[in-house]
Chains A and B, each alone.
Chain A
Amino acid sequence: MSSSTVPRNQGGFSVAEYVICLNGIVWREALRFLHQRERFVSALVRPLVWLFIFAAGFRQVLGISIIPPYETYILYEVYIAPGLIAMIQLFNGMQSSLSMVYDREMGNMRTLLVSPLPRGYLLFCKLVAGTAVSLLQVYAFLLIAWFWDIAPPSIGYLTVLPALILSGLMLGSLGMLISSGIKQLENFAGVMNFVIFPMFFASSALYTLWRVQEGSPLLYYVCLFNPFTHAVELIRFALYGQINWISLGVVSGCATVFMIGAIWAYDPSHGLIRRRPAGGET
């Protein structure tokens, strides 16, 4: 075949090709999620256990004063609901990164990485897909919570959506960044101990920051600088139709930094991903 007959698209890729690619990656992620019913169930059971057992038990112990965005005294269950929503997204983000490590070990990740669209865009699509899956879980949780009388204003279900997308992207890109440095699936247990638990407990998810400050000023600052705290607060305010500007800035900034870091880490020229053939290959 003559070289002149080889199709050459000098103009790069069309918008339609980018959209098709995004749709395909989201569709694949959703299919995988639906096939893994136990993942969906466990993603829901985890926050519900906290809500129905932990919060019910601590209701009498942990009083909540009137703090923004609340305009009256609230039940402890109402207070921790945004934290549990963020927890769903935190676990989902880490689960997505776990699946990236799995995909990399099993070779599936290569299918994604050798496709012709820019690698940064492919990873962004993967993040969007993970965030979309987390939204399904969050709204299922909110539906169940509604039956438990944890009901923000109706408009809150809509206004929380941008906050959920932003926090989902932040936590997903953090997971992706972490996954780039994990060489084996077995190492992922460390993520639970060193990322998920510290992020969740050193935040405003379970207790207000002023209470933390009373107990430990050092822990207060740790919580204050924890991006997860700001994801929780962003969601909390958005559920009541308000914007916490500081949290919005922190979550947006962290999402951008983590995303750039993840894209950098997956770039073959200077990334952190394994640069040797997988076992058995030569």
Chain B
Amino acid sequence: MTTTDLTSAGLASRDILPRPNAAETPALSIGSVSHSYGDRNALIDVNFSVAPASFTALLGLNGAGKSTLFSLVTRLFAIQSGRISIFGHEIRLAPGEALRLLGVVFQPRTLDLDLSVRQNLLYHAALHGIGRHEAGVRSDEILTRIGLAERTGSKVRDLSGGQMRRLEIARALLHRPRLLLLDEATVGLDVQARADILDHVRKLVTEQGIGVLWATHLFDEIVPSDDLVVLHQGRVLARGQVAQVIADAGAQEINSAFMRLTGAACSGSLPP
């Protein structure tokens, strides 16, 4: 379905979610979610979904509401209004079932610096009810895959920033989730480490069929085949495949499309 088709069907082109199988249960479904801190609105009627085995970039400036959204999806904050489901399990009604299918990498480091690489993984596995033996096997396997097999006994505080991030991703995958959330996972890393992590996460989508929601404010982390959600001042300004969002914004590339969208939002020419 093209943008023209949608427009003629009376739909705003930025409201499309062009996935091949519309009947598929979304990996993540965010429906009419709003959240406020006192009288400050952090999220306003946010709607979008992430398909299984897809890479969705959540693009927004600092203060857009990305971390608030992540805190709601992970049930760190209570949902004030709207619905959030993971593979059909509503987070408010069946948090255990939903969180079982979810792996998360938060923006701040959440590793235990005083424990070793392996101990961090074993602790995470225990929190998911995975027995010691199975956890050991999975840890060895995943540490080999991310190139940290030789650092298994090292204290986490001795790792580099890039290694810590890779370990956090490995930890998030240990219980074999079907959906992975990453909140600004490459912040503070050098160019090579960023590229490695992004490449690793994209492989998870293609090779393991994991749905990924990648929150970022960096345009160069997004490629045309990705799905994109543009979040600005708590509102979703656009969503769809990257190429389509760019075309709809009348731009040539993602950064100018983003500037046009957010500029239009600030000047009030976009509907609330």
- B-contacting residues of A (Cβ < 8 Å)? 1-3, 6-10, 12-14, 16-18, 20-21, 23-25, 27-28, 31-32, 35-36, 106-108, 110-118, 122, 267-270, 275-278, 280-282
4 A-B pairs besides A3-B87, A275-B37 with CB distance below 8 A are A1-B52, A8-B87, A114-B74, A114-B99
Whether B122 pairs with A24 at a CB distance below 8 angstroms is yes
Shortest distance in angstroms between B161's beta carbon and chain A's nearest beta carbon? 15
Query: Does B141 count as interface, using CB distance less than 8 angstroms?
Result: no
Partner of A1, one of B89, B108, B209: B209
Chain A residues positioned under 8 Å from B87 (CB to CB):
3, 6, 8
Bound Cα distance from A185 to B244, whole angstroms: 47
Whether A17 pairs with B129 at a CB distance below 8 angstroms is yes
A270 to chain B: closest residue by CB: B78
Partner of B127, one of A21, A35, A106: A21
Shortest distance in angstroms between B113's beta carbon and chain A's nearest beta carbon? 8
Whether B110 pairs with A108 at a CB distance below 8 angstroms is yes
Whether B112 pairs with A108 at a CB distance below 8 angstroms is yes
Partner of B124, one of A3, A111, A117, A122: A111
Partner of A12, one of B71, B96, B114: B96
A267 to chain B: closest residue by CB: B78
A268 to chain B: closest residue by CB: B78
Chain B residues positioned under 8 Å from A107 (CB to CB):
106, 108-110
Bound Cα distance from A28 to B129, whole angstroms: 14
Shortest distance in angstroms between B179's beta carbon and chain A's nearest beta carbon? 10
Partner of A281, one of B108, B126, B129: B108
CB within 8 Å of A: which B84-121 residues: 87-89, 95-102, 104, 106-112, 114-115, 119
Whether A111 pairs with B110 at a CB distance below 8 angstroms is yes
At the interface with chain A, which of B8-16, B60-68, B264-272? B60-68
Query: Does B239 count as interface, using CB distance less than 8 angstroms?
Result: no
Whether A6 pairs with B25 at a CB distance below 8 angstroms is yes
Partner of A110, one of B76, B100, B209: B76
Partner of A24, one of B96, B97, B123: B123
Per CB-CB distance, the 6 closest pairs between chain A and chain B, nearest first, are A24-B126, A17-B129, A3-B25, A115-B127, A269-B78, A281-B67
Whether A9 pairs with B106 at a CB distance below 8 angstroms is no
Chain B residues positioned under 8 Å from A12 (CB to CB):
96
Shortest distance in angstroms between B225's beta carbon and chain A's nearest beta carbon? 18
Query: Does B24 count as interface, using CB distance less than 8 angstroms?
Result: yes
Query: Does B185 count as interface, using CB distance less than 8 angstroms?
Result: no
Whether B109 pairs with A106 at a CB distance below 8 angstroms is yes
B25 to chain A: closest residue by CB: A3
Shortest distance in angstroms between B46's beta carbon and chain A's nearest beta carbon? 14
Bound Cα distance from A110 to B104, whole angstroms: 10
Chain A residues positioned under 8 Å from B107 (CB to CB):
280-281
Whether A32 pairs with B115 at a CB distance below 8 angstroms is yes
Bound Cα distance from A10 to B93, whole angstroms: 12
Query: Does B230 count as interface, using CB distance less than 8 angstroms?
Result: no
- Please name 29 pairs of A and B residues whose Cβ atoms are closer than 8 Å in the assembled complex, sorted by A: A6-B25, A6-B87, A6-B88, A7-B101, A16-B129, A17-B129, A18-B129, A20-B129, A20-B130, A21-B129, A23-B126, A25-B126, A27-B126, A28-B119, A32-B115, A106-B109, A106-B110, A111-B110, A111-B112, A111-B124, A116-B95, A116-B100, A116-B128, A267-B78, A268-B76, A268-B77, A275-B37, A280-B107, A281-B67
Bound Cα distance from A158 to B262, whole angstroms: 68
Chain A residues positioned under 8 Å from B102 (CB to CB):
114
A6 to chain B: closest residue by CB: B87
Bound Cα distance from A1 to B53, whole angstroms: 7
Scoring B119, B126, B183 by chain A CB atoms within 10 A of each residue's CB, the highest score goes to B126
| A24-B127, A107-B106 known; A268 vs B53 contact (CB < 8 Å) | no
Query: Does B165 count as interface, using CB distance less than 8 angstroms?
Result: no
Shortest distance in angstroms between A102's beta carbon and chain B's nearest beta carbon? 11
Shortest distance in angstroms between B258's beta carbon and chain A's nearest beta carbon? 16
Partner of A114, one of B53, B76, B129: B76
Shortest distance in angstroms between B155's beta carbon and chain A's nearest beta carbon? 9
Bound Cα distance from A170 to B74, whole angstroms: 29
Chain B residues positioned under 8 Å from A281 (CB to CB):
67, 107-108, 183
Bound Cα distance from A270 to B108, whole angstroms: 24
Bound Cα distance from A268 to B98, whole angstroms: 16
Chain A residues positioned under 8 Å from B209 (CB to CB):
1
